[in-house]
Amino acid sequence: MNNRFSVQIGDFAERANKKTENVVKALIFEIGKRLIMRSPVGDPSYWASAAPAGYVGGRFRNNWQYGFGGMGNKNRVEADANGSQSYSDMNKVFGSQASGLHYIYNNLPYSVRLEYGHSRQAPQGVVRLTMLEVDNALRTANK
């Protein structure tokens, strides 16, 4: 095989691998962003009883976390309706390899209840709806 051709093939493969890596990372970030924004934030106006004194909503939204190769087992105590710590965690994906297991998870004990209709704000859940949008998220990530 011609040496020049081999170099061109090698260059093409390197560019393709880099593009794939960038798309995978952008897809994971996009999915994480959608999970965070779709997550309900506690709103006492929906509740049958009054909120506890000092209640601040947003703990669920603030507990989306990213892990490469595994999941952690910690929960954030802080409530943050904007999910800023979760967004910060999603940015960690850009320091990871593309190939491997990527996890986006929420360890709060009530996350399963929220996923299966416990919230009036998200009666159809968070994860299942986001997973229905993976094709759209991939198109966004591939831009």
pLDDT tens per residue, range 96-135 = 888 889 999 999 999 999 999 999 999 999 999 999 998 8
Query: Does residue 10 belong to any structural domain of this protein?
Result: yes
d(CA 65, CA 142): 23
Q: Which domain holds residue 109?
A: 3-42+54-141
pLDDT in the model for residue 51: 93
What's the predicted TM-score (pTM) here?
0.86
Q: What is the per-residue pLDDT across 6-61, written as a single tens digit (0 to 9) for each?
A: 878 888 878 878 888 888 888 999 999 999 999 999 999 988 899 999 999 999 99
Query: Does residue 118 belong to any structural domain of this protein?
Result: yes
Q: Is the pLDDT of residue 1 over 70?
A: no
Count of structural domains, the chain: 1
d(CA 143, CA 140): 6
Q: What share of the chain is helix, strand, coil (3-state, %, to 5)?
A: 50, 5, 40
Query: Does residue 134 belong to any structural domain of this protein?
Result: yes
d(CA 89, CA 48): 34
Name the β-bridge partners of 27.
none
Query: Does residue 87 belong to any structural domain of this protein?
Result: yes
pLDDT in the model for residue 70: 94
Query: Does residue 48 belong to any structural domain of this protein?
Result: no
